[in-house]
Structure 1
Amino acid sequence: MRLLQALEAGTPVITAEVMPPRGSDAALTLEHAERLRGRVHAINVTDGSRAVMRMSSLAVARLLLDRGHEPVLQLACRDRNRIALQADLLGAHALGIRNVLCLTGDPVRAGDQPGARPVHDLDSVRLLQQVSAFNRGADPIQGELPDGGTHLLAGAAADPHSPSWSGLRSRLRRKQQAGARFIQTQMVMDAAVLRRFQEEIASPLGLPVLAGVFLLKSARNAAFINRVVPGACIPQAIIDRLSAAADPADEGIAIASEQVRSFLRIVRGVHVMAVKAEQRIPAILDRAGVEPISSSGQLGGGEGSAACLAA
């Protein structure tokens, strides 16, 4: 459990994200994951992101594990009732998957099947409570699990750009009390916003934060994300920078790498997202000066957050 070890050791943590295929062949997803070998502590597998059909996140997480990667299973409440969520948690543990990011899930209206019906029997807080109960060995009906407790590391999501600061503080406190051990944020575009989130909300709760860094490909891509992705808040200054760039794709890598470098001086780590461009994540880390991860799970160059940055 490299992710858990890094969180407990207090070393900088790097995670990234891959998207399951819209089909039954996971070869390209696994190819993207292979490029991340030695560069991240763990690889998130999205679960129906933006309410779009994809291969099961549980299946892809197991495929990653089989190839020596450490997966973070994203599990969304939108598409499953509590019985199905409980089954997936127990199944994940049986398959050797130990990291779970508990999510409520993007609204169905964000996707391409508006006729689908959301479930939302649980929300992310109650899913976290279920993970904690399983870890204690508690059966939701019959008292105790017959084979003892699970060993799942539960994480939660948060949006530092939330327009309701009091609501964000309250919900994150509930997630921490429910059993969240770390936070992966939605995309962050302002270091000052991240610093305030860290100092006023996350730090008092003792929750390590991995700040979301999102690769933008062009000004048009950024404007599209602002329009369709719930909670997205990409500043006009960044959109203008992409619009003025001779090579917008390269400028997007530059922006993301600057964010990685900046955010690692504020919070415990970063979570890099590059939808349909996962092959560019190593370039982001290289340009940010983030060295490969050693066999001990630490970033190269020694200890401390500054040590993860190459000279």
Structure 2
Amino acid sequence: MNRFRNACLTPKEFVITAEVAPPKGGDPHHMIEMGRLLKNRVHAVNVTDGSRAVLGMSSLASCAILQHHGIEPILQVACRDRNRIGLQADLLGAHALGIRNILALTGDPVKAGDHPEAKAVFDFESVRLLQAIDKLNHGLDWNEKTLPQGGTDLFPGAAVDPQSPSWSGLKSRFNRKLKAGARFFQSQLITDFDRLYKFMNQIGSETDQPILAGIFLLKSAKNARFINKYVPGVNIPDPIIDRLEKAPHPLEEGVKIAAEQVQIARQICRGVHLMAVKREDLIPQILDAAGIPPLG
């Protein structure tokens, strides 16, 4: 399964990914069904790794299940819960399972989640995780010891937040991730497309690696206000909240808004990363409304 990598390496290809949350339990059927709905609409499906520090099925196991069903996954790997030994072990396991796409993340704070008394690890953060992946790909572990069976073939990516208030910090961290080996970038939720345009022109233009704008399905005005209150760095504009508030069918309006944002992003960057928490089934509808046909 190399559809995602091939798309990223094809300069004019519009790259599409979507996010699926693993179940909080041992039954993967709903996740598999959502993956099947997305299979011919996106190049790959991200599986979150303890997103918001909330317990869910192992991202590695979830990706293996999706891959078994013919759905190409992107394995999210967060540094919060494992030390360098565990992280490298999971990366070697991903390679052995045929999982190639990796999104390297630092991870959300433990206190934000459903186990606030858990002990965070953070032995690595995302840049050092990217460096570790690069070493593994070159046949070395973190301590520069040779892997007896040769290197891995992992395709690493990273997160980026074009709406970060610190422009110099954003540029510095983006460049560090590039230098560490990131081959693609998925952005946080984008609401300010002028800011995204500025980022692409002043920072993103320094690389040919694809940058995918994060597009989030807002289900209602209440949902938008909740995100504004509890998700750091996100400010959903009042006009969007007003649209949702006045709409007779807020969820349908949310689909329209997401489709409009996909169309805007298509003029600015190389792709989109779609997030529709608990309504992944609506992602094909968003893409249809945005004029994005199924993949060939």
TM class by shorter chain equals over 0.9
| TM-score, with length taken from structure 2 | 0.97
Structure 1 residue 3 corresponds to structure 2 residue 4: yes
CA shift digits 1:141-191 (9 cap, x unpaired): 362111111110000001111111110000010000000011000010122
Which residue in the other structure is 2:61 paired with? 59
C-alpha displacement of 1:140: 2.7
Q: Secondary structure at the match of 2:19?
A: strand
1:146 is aligned to 148
Taking only the aligned residue pairs, the percentage that are identical comes to 58
For 2:130, the aligned partner's letter is L
Secondary structure of residue in 1 paired with 2:187: strand
Q: C-alpha separation between the residues in 2 aligned to 1:147 and 1:61?
A: 23
Corresponding residue for 1:117? Answer: 119
Aligned residues between the structures: 294
Q: Equivalent residue for 1:224?
A: 226
Query: Which residue identity does 2:226 align to in structure 1?
Result: F
Cα pair distance change 1:142/1:259, threshold 3 Å: closer
The more displaced of 191-200 and 226-235 is: 226-235
1:185 aligns with 2:168: no
1:43-69 deviation per Cα after TM superposition (whole angstroms, max 9, x unaligned):
000111111000000011001100111
SS in 2 for 1:127: helix
Alpha-carbon distance in structure 1 between the residues aligned to 2:193 and 2:128: 31
| Counterpart code for 1:2 | R
Task: List 4+ stretches of structure 1 deviating above 6 A.
Answer: none
Q: Distance in 1 between matches of 2:29 and 2:65?
A: 10
Q: Secondary structure at the match of 1:139?
A: coil
Counterpart of 1:302? none
Determine the C-alpha separation between the residues in 2 that align with 1:230 and 1:196: 21
Aligned with residue 263 of structure 1, among 262, 265, 270: 265
Q: Distance in 2 between matches of 1:188 and 1:124?
A: 21
**Alignment-derived partner of residue 308 in structure 1:** none
| Cα distance in structure 2, aligned partners of 1:105 and 1:265 | 30
Deviation sequence 1:105-151 (CA, Å, 0-9, x none) = 11112212211121100000000000000001112336211111111
**Alpha-carbon shift at residue 264 of structure 1 (Å):** 0.9
Counterpart of 2:177 in structure 1 is 175
Unaligned stretches of 5+ residues in structure 2: none
Q: Is the 8 A contact 1:161 1:233 kept in 2?
A: no
After TM superposition, list the pairs within 5 Å mapping 1:66-105 onto structure 2.
Answer: 66-105=68-107
Task: From 32, 35, 50, give the equivalent of 2:34.
Answer: 32
The answer on whether the counterparts of 1:14 and 1:41 sit within 8 Å (CA) in structure 2 is yes
Distance across 1 between alignment mates of 2:283 and 2:26: 24
Native 8 Å contact 2:132 2:141 kept in 1: no
Structure 1: gaps of 5 or more residues: 295-311
Deviation at 1:228, TM superposition (A): 1.5
Distance 2:200 2:143 in 1: 38
SS state at 1:9 partner: coil
CA RMSD of aligned residues (A): 1.0
Mapped pair 1:131 → 2:153: no
- Per the alignment, residue 233 of structure 1 pairs with 235
Query: Helix, strand or coil for the counterpart of 2:233?
Result: coil
From 196, 211, 226, the equivalent of 1:209 is 211
Match of 2:274 in 1: 272
Please tell me whether residue 45 in structure 1 is matched to residue 42 in structure 2. Answer: no
